[in-house]
Structure 1
Amino acid sequence: MFCCLFVFTAALAPRAMAADGTPNRGALFRIEQPAAGNAGNAGNVAWLFGTIHVGAKSFYPLEPKIMAALENAAVLALEVDPLGSQDDIARAVREYGMYPAGRGPASAELAAPYRPRLERLLRQYDVPPASVAPMKPWMLASLLTVREFERQGYQTDLAVEMWLSHGARARKQKIVELESVQAQMALFGRMTTADQALFLQETIDAIDGSEQASDARAIATAWATADQAALDRIAEKTATDDTFSGRFVSRVLLDGRNPLLADGIAKLLAREKQSVVAIGVLHLVGKNSVPELLRRQGLRVERVY
């Protein structure tokens, strides 16, 4: 979810292919524990794979290199396991994403000109207003963003993390979470009501101005073609977006979380001979990316694609 302008050129980029012709997806890094000072775990390897939180049937299966890593790994690490405790997810949604009884709807927090625009978007996405009445503004903004991705042909039930989690369960592979759904949603829940309303208003502006559609196509296409240049452009655009929602994504959702994600990966690498870590691809690009933070910790980091 990033609400800002983007010149959509990724669709014109050539696809990076695996040897068997399967397209590379996202971004892949090989992280290795060097020998110096860590004789017990020297040579441990973590494959760091960048995901997106929606998907399409054409995305799968992934290319052979990451598939082999998944087959050989003892552990799959995700930001949050989407197939994990549904009670925990529901509890976090209630705590951080829903109004207490008697509050709401989110439209009441909006400036008056935005209220009919929100109603029109709900009709456009075939969302009954009563179903979203308990949602706080940030949660409603997230729903609108997901609906726009779906309008572009991408589905949340085919999200990369969902596909990976299903595969790990079929392999009876251990899944670990680097974060918790409570911690993720708390980042949004800490926004003031006024800031949440601004976040929703900027989402409405982005959708009405076709920016959200362009953004959805851009990031999905850049991921689907492993287009490094396009991903770098998206990272730069996100970092320089001066809207409230742009600053929130860049400073809170990316820069604010990257150190904790990097620390979790380093700890996993220290104890596991081979693992696969799959986190959002925007955490893997930009100046303060997770790979860069891992390099600063003295780990050997190689970008595969």
Structure 2
Amino acid sequence: MKFHRTLIAFLLCLLLPLTAFADPAFYRVSKGDQQHWLLGSIHAGKPSLYPLPDPVERAWQQSRALVMEVDLTHISQTQWQEMGAITRLVDGKTLKDHVPLDLYQRTLIAASQNGLTEHMIAPLRPWFAAITLTQAALERTDFSSALGVDQHFAKRATESGKPIIGLETLLEQLGYLASVGDNQTLMLESTLDELPQLETGFRDVMKAWQQGDQAALVNLLKAEMAPPKLQAWLEQTLLAERNHNWLKKWPTLPNESFIVVGALHLYGDQGLIALLEQQGWRITPLTAPGPRTATD
């Protein structure tokens, strides 16, 4: 469970203090006699995030199934074992052998500052070392992955017996992340550059999510995901390619599904909203932007 939340936390980086927030983007998606609800998620939070707005709660009560990026309630032991081959080095070498020495030394300093040891970091592939460092830094804030929107509804579905459906498997998601390939050293270097400003650097992203401001989210994505090679990889592979693959499964979803995916998957010309509209689905916003005050 913790491993999956680590991945998602890195993908979106929407893990910032909630000082004031508006209703997040939430939609009814309908076509013919089919109807679903679509919620853009953040993957960590704190108690002040809840309860969610009334339209979200009403739809949840009416829904018949929860659809998430990955269904963590049905991960086989084989998948957990295969995960190691994707995230850890298997050639008898360590991270030190795969990155420049100065970058390795910077990695160890950042690890120590965030409660990790060389023994924990050394066996990891560079891309997963970057994710691990990001999650470790985020865990030193006031946020909890267990209070992320996706985990919130996964817990409620499990308690109520509501079916949970994954749009992809854990190994499929790992494959997307591993596809950073030759750019993984750049990914690690960029992560180390951003760690000291991790919380403040994404404050505007959180505000945009809180207000359901899709234009701001898209602009912030382009601004924050530098260098350009990493930005292109995130936009083309981690967002657009996965969106298209998810849509192939859309006709198989139970009617009146409650769909929770990372907020950035909704927006842009390759976002779920635009792609669904192209396929004839009607998108009806159920919440409206505009700040409302909340206290911790």
TM bracket, shorter-chain basis: 0.7 to 0.9
Q: Among 17, 34, 55, which residue is 1:65 paired with? A: 55
Q: Among 112, 132, 152, which residue is 1:143 paired with? A: 132
* CA distance in structure 1 between the aligned counterparts of 2:43 and 2:274, rounded to whole angstroms: 22
How far apart are 1:265 and its partner, in Å? 2.8
How far apart are 1:229 and its partner, in Å? 5.0
Superposition TM-score, scaled by structure 1 size: 0.80
Q: Percent identity?
A: 24
Alignment of 1:127-276 (within 5 A): 127-192=116-181, 194-208=182-196, 210=197, 212-237=198-223, 241-268=226-253, 272-276=254-258
* CA distance in structure 1 between the aligned counterparts of 2:204 and 2:11, rounded to whole angstroms: 11
In structure 2, the residue matched to 1:20 is none
Q: Does structure 1 retain, via aligned residues, the 8 Å contact 2:36–2:259?
A: yes
How far apart are 1:220 and its partner, in Å? 3.5
How far apart are 1:112 and its partner, in Å? 2.6
* CA distance in structure 2 between the aligned counterparts of 1:265 and 1:123, rounded to whole angstroms: 44
* CA distance in structure 1 between the aligned counterparts of 2:78 and 2:150, rounded to whole angstroms: 17
CA deviation digits over 1:232-252, x for unaligned, max 9?
4324436x8443322221111
CA deviation digits over 1:121-165, x for unaligned, max 9?
111101122122221111111111222323342222322211111
**Are 1:82 and 2:72 an aligned pair?**
yes
CA shift in 2, pair 1:220/1:74, >3 Å: same
Equivalent position amino acid for 2:67 in 1? A
* CA distance in structure 2 between the aligned counterparts of 1:137 and 1:255, rounded to whole angstroms: 24
CA shift in 2, pair 1:115/1:133, >3 Å: closer
Q: Does structure 2 retain, via aligned residues, the 8 Å contact 1:241–1:247?
A: no
CA deviation digits over 1:149-207, x for unaligned, max 9?
23342222322211111000111101111111111101223443x42222111111222
Unaligned runs of 5+ in 2: 1-9, 288-296
Q: In structure 2, the residue corresponding to 1:288 is in which secondary structure?
A: coil
How far apart are 1:53 and its partner, in Å? 2.1
CA deviation digits over 1:85-109, x for unaligned, max 9?
26255234212101126221x2332
Considering only aligned residues, what root-mean-square deviation do their CA atoms show, in Å? 2.6
Q: Which moved more, 1:279-288 or 1:198-207?
A: 198-207
Superposition TM-score, scaled by structure 2 size: 0.83
Equivalent position amino acid for 2:208 in 1? A
* CA distance in structure 2 between the aligned counterparts of 1:77 and 1:157, rounded to whole angstroms: 17
Equivalent position amino acid for 1:119 in 2? L
Q: Does structure 2 retain, via aligned residues, the 8 Å contact 1:82–1:161?
A: no
Q: Does structure 1 retain, via aligned residues, the 8 Å contact 2:269–2:275?
A: no
CA shift in 2, pair 1:112/1:101, >3 Å: closer
Unaligned runs of 5+ in 1: 5-9, 17-23, 34-41
Q: Does structure 1 retain, via aligned residues, the 8 Å contact 2:115–2:136?
A: no
CA shift in 2, pair 1:51/1:226, >3 Å: same
* CA distance in structure 1 between the aligned counterparts of 2:169 and 2:67, rounded to whole angstroms: 12
Q: Among 53, 57, 74, which residue is 2:43 paired with? A: 53
Equivalent position amino acid for 2:200 in 1? S
- List 4+ stretches of structure 1 deviating above 4 A: none
CA shift in 2, pair 1:87/1:214, >3 Å: farther
Q: Does structure 2 retain, via aligned residues, the 8 Å contact 1:2–1:245?
A: no
